[in-house]
């Protein structure tokens, strides 16, 4: 029963994307300067900001790559992808080959040209996904290779491992940008299997096993000392269920791409994160390593990561209980977070009060990717 129920939800996901979400953001998601908007208002109308994050330009490029793969308006989807690629390979690039952090919303150069690994990772991810959706372009792969060469020369941490999260090297290290760099490497490997991307992905997985999960309980930490040691204070104790789930999905994707066994940590993270869900299947923002609540507000993205993790576990086990968990995560998204008009209420308080004041475009990446995975797994 749960498998057939999950298939019905996959069909519902496809309909919501193609009938509401893609049309909304294609119509209202770009500003007059030709940059993807940061936000819409809660009534789904245009809202202006004086900045445009490079990560949003990258995520929205991916957004329309997925739209094209799902067959939504190939003319519009292709136009938006190519427009995004123009931003990511032009306006967002620094003279040294890296990408900056913030663009002026009027398209007049950088507001903040700090190289940020998070923005770089999503730029690389967008390049890989766009290349796949458009059927392969050597120019896109060459752009990714040039950006990675600049990253290796300027941001690789040859002392402690991993990469500088920004320049200059911060004193507090973070797993999150590395997680998304792993995701980007797996995307690029699909379109350029001889490009060395899988080896880079393997380095990040090794860092995950040696450092990111070295704290109590083998759970994924968020922040670390400069040498990847255990941090002091609250950072040593707090974990995010959403990122535990996200790594579960990525570790399985890496195993599929590399032919290596799934790291044992994936089971640990999945079991822990599942235990933090409430009775309806909702994920909160933060808990302690003992599983006690720390930030019980709820955002959209942890729900999407829970769905992806359940899907990858169901795909491998066929367990009806996991299918039921995936159904619950989907229902939470559809009933509480996503709107019938193709947007989302991104943030709720612990008691269900709306904390969101706008509709961030960046959330679309999470929703579209999770729904695309649901459609793929269930062959909808």
Q: For the chain, state the CA radius of gyration.
A: 20
Give which of 231, 331, 332, 341 is closest to 289, Cα–Cα. 231
The reported pLDDT for the residue numbered 138 is: 86
Q: What is the CATH number of the domain that holds 110?
A: 1.50.10.10
Q: Residues 152, 120: contact at Cβ < 8 Å?
A: no
Q: Residues 337, 346: contact at Cβ < 8 Å?
A: yes
Q: Residues 127, 72: contact at Cβ < 8 Å?
A: no
Count of structural domains, the chain: 1
Burial 139-161 (b: 16+ CB within 10 A, else e): ebbebbbebbebbeeebebeebb
Cα 75 to its chain centre, rounded Å, is 25
**DSSP 3-state assignment of 159?**
coil
| Domain, as residue range, for 258 | 2-377
Report the alpha-carbon angle 297-301-303, nearest 5. Answer: 75
Q: Residues 133, 187: contact at Cβ < 8 Å?
A: no
Which residues on neighbouring strands pair with residue 174, listed in sequence order? 223
The reported pLDDT for the residue numbered 137 is: 78
Q: Residues 247, 208: contact at Cβ < 8 Å?
A: yes
Average pLDDT by stretches of 10, the chain with 380 residues? 93 98 98 98 97 98 98 98 98 98 98 98 98 92 98 97 97 98 98 97 98 97 97 95 98 98 98 98 98 98 98 97 98 98 98 97 98 98
Q: Residues 112, 173: contact at Cβ < 8 Å?
A: no
The reported pLDDT for the residue numbered 1 is: 61
Give which of 108, 94, 130 is closest to 35, Cα–Cα. 108
Tally the residues of the chain: 380
* C-alpha span between 74 and 314 (Å, rounded): 31
């Amino acid at each position: 029963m749960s498998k057939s129920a999950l298939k019905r939800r996959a069909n519902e996901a496809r309909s919501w994307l193609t009938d509401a979400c893609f049309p909304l953001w294609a119509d209202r998601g770009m500003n007059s300067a030709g940059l993807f908007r940061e936000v819409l208002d809660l009534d789904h109308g245009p809202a202006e900001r004086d900045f445009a994050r490079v990560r949003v330009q990258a995520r929205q490029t991916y957004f329309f790559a997925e739209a094209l793969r799902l067959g939504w308006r190939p003319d519009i989807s292709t136009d938006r992808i190519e427009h995004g690629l123009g931003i990511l390979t032009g306006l967002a690039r620094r003279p040294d080959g890296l990408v900056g952090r913030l663009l002026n919303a009027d398209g007049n150069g950088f507001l903040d040209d700090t190289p940020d690994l998070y923005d770089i990772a999503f730029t690389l991810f967008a390049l890989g996904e766009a290349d796949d959706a458009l059927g392969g372009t050597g120019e896109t792969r060459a752009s990714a290779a040039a950006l990675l060469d600049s990253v290796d020369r300027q941001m690789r941490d040859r002392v402690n491992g991993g990469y500088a999260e920004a320049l200059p090297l911060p004193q507090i290290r973070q797993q999150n940008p590395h997680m998304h760099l792993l995701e980007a490497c797996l995307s690029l490997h699909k379109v350029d299997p001889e490009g060395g991307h899988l080896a880079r992905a393997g380095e990040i997985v090794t860092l995950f096993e040696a450092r990111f999960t070295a704290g109590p309980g083998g759970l994924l930490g968020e922040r670390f000392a400069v040498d990847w040691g255990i941090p002091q204070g609250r950072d040593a104790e707090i974990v995010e269920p959403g990122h535990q789930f996200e790594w579960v999905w990525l570790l399985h994707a890496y195993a599929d791409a590399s032919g290596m066994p799934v790291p044992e940590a994936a089971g640990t993270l999945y079991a822990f994160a599942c235990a933090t869900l409430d009775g309806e299947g909702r994920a909160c923002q933060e808990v302690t390593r003992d599983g006690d609540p720390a930030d019980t507000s709820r955002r959209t993205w942890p729900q999407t990561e829970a769905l992806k993790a359940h899907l990858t576990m169901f795909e491998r086990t066929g367990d009806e209980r996991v299918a039921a968990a995936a159904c619950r995560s989907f229902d939470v998204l559809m009933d509480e977070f996503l709107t019938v008009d193709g947007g989302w209420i991104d943030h709720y308080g612990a008691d269900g009060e709306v904390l969101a004041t706008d509709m961030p475009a960046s959330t679309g990446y999470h929703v579209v990717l999770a729904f695309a995975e649901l459609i793929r797994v269930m062959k909808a």
